[in-house]
Amino acid sequence: MVMESFLQAWRNWTEGTALNLIDPSLRVDSISELMRFIRIGLLCVQENVVNRPTMASVVLMLTSYSLSLPIPSKPAFFMQSTSEMDD
């Protein structure tokens, strides 16, 4: 389920349809703010751990709108083993 969510988010981001990820019942004040949140989320799941922001960086990204965000690359995906899923 999580992997499908990452795939869906990445696909929508790259196709320019990231707003499809937003629940239509939400009252949105700023589309650009929602796009920023999606971008930050994608940065947090980068394949290379060195490219993932620290928690301090995430807080800064969420609170500073003058900060330029990096462009995310394709997120990492993983498969759980059946024994992990049973726990």
Query: What pLDDT was estimated at residue 32?
Result: 86
Three-state DSSP at 75 gives strand
DSSP collapsed to 3 states, 45-78: CECCHHHCCCHHHHHHHHHCCCCCCCCCCCECCC
Structural domain boundaries of the chain?
37-66
How far is 35 from 87, CA to CA, in rounded Å?
35
Query: What pLDDT was estimated at residue 16?
Result: 92
Query: What pLDDT was estimated at residue 83?
Result: 47
> Phi/psi class of residue 16: alpha, beta or left (left: φ > 0; alpha: ψ in -120 to 50)?
left
pLDDT in tens, the chain (87 residues): 566 677 788 889 899 998 888 888 887 788 888 889 999 999 998 888 899 999 999 999 999 988 899 999 887 665 554 444 444
